[in-house]
Amino acid sequence: MSHEIEIMSVIIAVLGGAIRVGTPFLFVSLGECLTEKSGRINLGLEANLIMGAMTGYGVAYMSDSAWLGVLAAGASGVALGLIHALLCQQDKVNDIAVGIALMILGTGLAFFLGKPFIQPQAPGLPAVELGGWSDSPVVRAALEINMLFIIGLVLAPVMAWFFKYSKWGLIVRTVGESRDAALSMGINVNQVRLYSTMFGGFLAGVGGSFLSLYYPGSWNEGLSSGQGLMAVALVIFARWNPMYCLYASLLFGGAAALGPALQSVGVTSGYYLFNAAPYILTLLIMIISSSSHRRLAGLPGELEGTRK
């Protein structure tokens, strides 16, 4: 009997974790989705995530307002996106390489500037309790939904609508589909990509603030371990569709929550291997969803050379 309860609590913890761990994935993947739709890959979103986590925590601590921290985190993401976009619009500059460089620079800056914030306690983000009906503390913990997740939940369909029906969405898609077609329509390609990368960076920065202000909920140097990059892989899996980004983020969040959930019921032997689950899952998904023969559905045409 107690065995069954343990299995149930692992399942509930994984479902709750899907939301809790999946939220940063959701913001980063929506940001990357927008950037890639405009025809550029920003691998540096890992840096946005870490910088966002540091900036968000630092500003929330100093101003005593978690939401101000979230905004500041977004602003730091805009700054990194701006650097990426400005560098990439020079000819011969490779966007993937710039992403790797920004990853190193952003991580270094976040660790450098974040040193004083490792100790103090900043105010956290509010959560909505949806588990009041249950007596089980496990269920209640799992159903504590953070406001940022709800914002992300709204943002995904809004972005899908934006791409499909709005004039600006059409412009972004045109630029991503064919630079030449966009130029012939008189669209300033570099400017569209600049704004797409900056807003994508904003979202990734906000995703970072979730890490430090809600879950795990403090700033330290081991906060992000490749989530930013996994989110980039997730966009391929989601076929550049914001709604699929939402589903994929939840799947990844669940996979990442598996290790800690098992540890909490005493399964510790394969802890490190379970911790590798999201990476292995990402890799498997990439192997299954890629193809060297056909063009992927939804792939922006301008990315074809880099990711066929």
DSSP symbols for 50-81? HHHHHHHHHHHHHHS-HHHHHHHHHHHHHHHH
| Phi, psi of 129, deg, nearest 5 | -90, 115
Candidate list 79, 102, 160, 262; residue touching other proteins; CB under 8 A: 102
Q: Is 133 one of the binding residues for other proteins (CB under 8 A)? A: no
Distance between CA 230 and CA 238 in Å, rounded? 12
Q: Is 180 one of the binding residues for other proteins (CB under 8 A)? A: no
Q: At what angle do helices 147-165 and 2-37 cross, to 10 degrees?
A: 40
Shortest Å, Cβ 23 to other proteins = 20
Q: Is 85 one of the binding residues for other proteins (CB under 8 A)? A: no
Q: Which residue, 91 or 135, is less far from other proteins as judged by CB?
A: 91
Applying CB under 8 A, the site for other proteins has a residue count of: 52
Q: How far apart are the first and last CA of the chain?
A: 51
Beta bridge partners of 127: 146
Q: Is 111 one of the binding residues for other proteins (CB under 8 A)? A: yes
Residue type at position 248: A
Q: Is 190 one of the binding residues for other proteins (CB under 8 A)? A: no
Q: Is 93 one of the binding residues for other proteins (CB under 8 A)? A: yes
Q: Is 306 one of the binding residues for other proteins (CB under 8 A)? A: yes
Q: Which residue, 171 or 229, is less far from other proteins as judged by CB?
A: 229
| Burial call 14-42: b when 16+ CB within 10 Å, e when fewer | bbbbbbbbbbbbbbbbbbbbbbbbbbbbb
Site string for other proteins, 215-254 (x = CB under 8 A): ----------xx--xx-xx--x------------------
124 close to 66: Cβ distance less than 8 angstroms: yes
Site string for other proteins, 65-84 (x = CB under 8 A): ------------------x-
Question: Which one-letter DSSP state was computed for residue 222?
Answer: T
Which chain residues interact with other proteins by CB under 8 A? 43, 83, 87, 90-94, 96-98, 100-102, 104-112, 115, 225-226, 229-230, 232-233, 236, 269-273, 275-276, 279-280, 282-283, 286-287, 290-293, 305-308
